[in-house]
């Protein structure tokens, strides 16, 4: 056996190697970003009878994942495991988090099962499961993601709102609304309550299917749910997603209704809400609509940000609204905003072009008239 050729050493010798080796390996992997040198050192020590410990495993896998060498990291991990170098629970979760950076959920899933193979009592953390669910959804495989949900339940986890929201959104993205609804209804069975972001992402799927009536009903519930949400950032995310998809689906009446009536009240920071309405409208080429939101905002006593003025002015110049753009420029200057030189350049060019267009029109007209006369 090969094993018997390896010299056996005392514990003292192991510890001596550990002192010199482990720190060096770790430094090579992190500080110097030279995993290959670390691997050479580790192989050298191994030939002298050194048994790698979970610290070495952690350093090496970290270094390889950090260098986007996920294939090798995966192979090395298996080698470490088969030589019975098995890390503790926390380290296992850290390693999984590293493999999640590969954005290859199948690989991460394999890593998890390899770890469990050598450490049957290991249960990946809720966050790792949720991230894995998200990654299967982002490669349009919510069915596989769904199996991860059952997997985590079987291992004794209780899924949370993030788990379900991710999966509901995953089914919505591929247009499987009936699965999304089923999952949404299943949540209370696990003591999980949908929050405003869950509703918002479900609405996105519903509106994409052009089920406007159902979308409106859910929007009503969404604004109710926002009132009980304690995490402001969840409400902001829900609001931003809602406005984005209303704009994308061309439901501008709803967008202006929100700007006028602010049904989310103070559950979403007002400046953020107005700013996002303006942003989303500009993004879908509706700068005139965005300037209408500026008007509504000011009517309510809020001041648009310099960023809003900049993007609307740019948008209006592109969409043939340079006179309104000029008006807004003056308005912004009136608030003491120092608009960028680029904004001025864009506006001046648009104004010149508009005048040229008039000239062009004029000459075209006279050309036509001349033709009639002649």
Partner DNA sequence: CTAGGGTTAG
Nearer to DNA, 16 or 348 (CB): 16
Nearer to DNA, 104 or 331 (CB): 104
Output the smallest distance, CB 51 to DNA, in A: 13
Single out the residue of 237, 251, 296, 306 in contact with DNA (rule: CB under 7 A). 237
Instruction: Report if residue 275 touches DNA, rule: CB under 7 A.
Output: no
CA distance 208 to 138: 17
As given in the structure block, the two tokens for residue 10 are 């005392």
Nearer to DNA, 52 or 321 (CB): 52
**Pattern 47-76, DNA, x by CB under 7 A:** -------xx--xx--x--------------
Instruction: Report if residue 303 touches DNA, rule: CB under 7 A.
Output: no
- Give the distance from CA 190 to its chain's centroid: 26
Instruction: Report if residue 155 touches DNA, rule: CB under 7 A.
Output: no
Alpha helices in the chain (DSSP H): 2-5, 11-30, 35-47, 54-66, 70-82, 89-100, 105-118, 126-138, 142-154, 161-173, 177-186, 196-208, 212-228, 232-248, 252-261, 270-283, 287-299, 306-318, 322-334, 341-373
Question: First vs last Cα of the chain: how many Å apart?
Answer: 106
Single out the residue of 102, 108, 166, 280 in contact with DNA (rule: CB under 7 A). 166
As given in the structure block, the two tokens for residue 141 are 């495989």
Residue pair 12/40 in contact (Cβ under 8 Å)? The answer is: no
Nearer to DNA, 244 or 271 (CB): 244
Using alpha carbons, select from 161, 242, 168 the residue that is nearest to residue 200.
Answer: 242
Instruction: Report if residue 169 touches DNA, rule: CB under 7 A.
Output: yes
Instruction: Report if residue 269 touches DNA, rule: CB under 7 A.
Output: no
Measured in degrees and rounded to the nearest 5, phi and psi for residue 51 equal: -100, 115
Output the smallest distance, CB 275 to DNA, in A: 12
Q: Report the interface residues with DNA, using CB under 7 A.
A: 18-19, 22-23, 26, 30, 54-55, 58-59, 62, 87-88, 90-91, 93-94, 96-98, 125-128, 130-131, 134, 160-163, 165-166, 169, 195, 197-198, 201, 231, 233-234, 236-237, 240-241, 244
């Amino acid at each position: 056996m090969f094993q018997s050729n390896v010299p056996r050493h005392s514990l003292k010798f192991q510890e001596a190697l550990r002192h010199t080796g482990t720190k060096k390996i770790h430094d090579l992997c992190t500080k110097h970003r030279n995993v290959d040198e670390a691997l050479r050192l580790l192989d050298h020590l191994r030939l002298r009878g050194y048994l790698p410990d979970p610290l070495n495993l952690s350093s090496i896998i970290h270094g390889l994942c950090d260098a986007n060498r996920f294939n090798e990291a995966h192979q090395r991990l298996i080698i470490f495991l088969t030589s019975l170098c098995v890390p503790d629970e926390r380290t296992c979760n850290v390693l999984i988090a590293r493999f999640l950076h590969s954005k290859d959920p199948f690989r991460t899933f394999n890593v998890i099962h390899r770890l469990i193979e050598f450490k049957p009592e290991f249960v990946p953390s809720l966050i790792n499961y949720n991230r894995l669910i998200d990654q299967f959804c982002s490669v349009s495989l919510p069915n596989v993601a769904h199996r991860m949900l059952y997997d985590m339940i079987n291992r004794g986890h209780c899924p949370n709102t993030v788990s379900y929201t991710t999966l509901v959104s995953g089914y919505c993205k591929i247009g499987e609304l009936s699965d999304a609804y089923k999952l949404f209804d299943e949540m209370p069975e696990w003591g999980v309550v949908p929050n405003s972001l869950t509703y918002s992402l479900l609405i996105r799927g519903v509106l994409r299917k052009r089920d406007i009536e159902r979308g409106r009903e859910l929007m009503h519930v969404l604004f109710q749910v926002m009132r009980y949400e304690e995490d402001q950032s969840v409400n902001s995310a829900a609001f931003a997603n809602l406005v984005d998809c209303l704009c994308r689906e061309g439901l501008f009446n709803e967008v202006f209704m929100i700007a006028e009536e602010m049904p989310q009240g103070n559950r979403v920071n007002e400046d953020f809400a107005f700013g996002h309405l303006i942003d989303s409208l500009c993004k879908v080429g509706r700068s005139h609509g965005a300037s209408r939101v500026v008007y509504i905002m000011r009517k309510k006593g809020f001041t648009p940000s310099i960023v809003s003025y900049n993007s609307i002015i740019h948008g209006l110049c592109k969409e043939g609204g340079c006179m309104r753009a000029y008006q807004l420029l003056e308005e912004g200057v009136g608030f003491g905003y120092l608009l960028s030189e680029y904004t001025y350049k864009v506006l001046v060019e648009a104004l010149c072009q508009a005048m040229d267009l008039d000239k062009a029109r004029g000459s075209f007209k006279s050309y036509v008239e001349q033709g009639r006369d002649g």
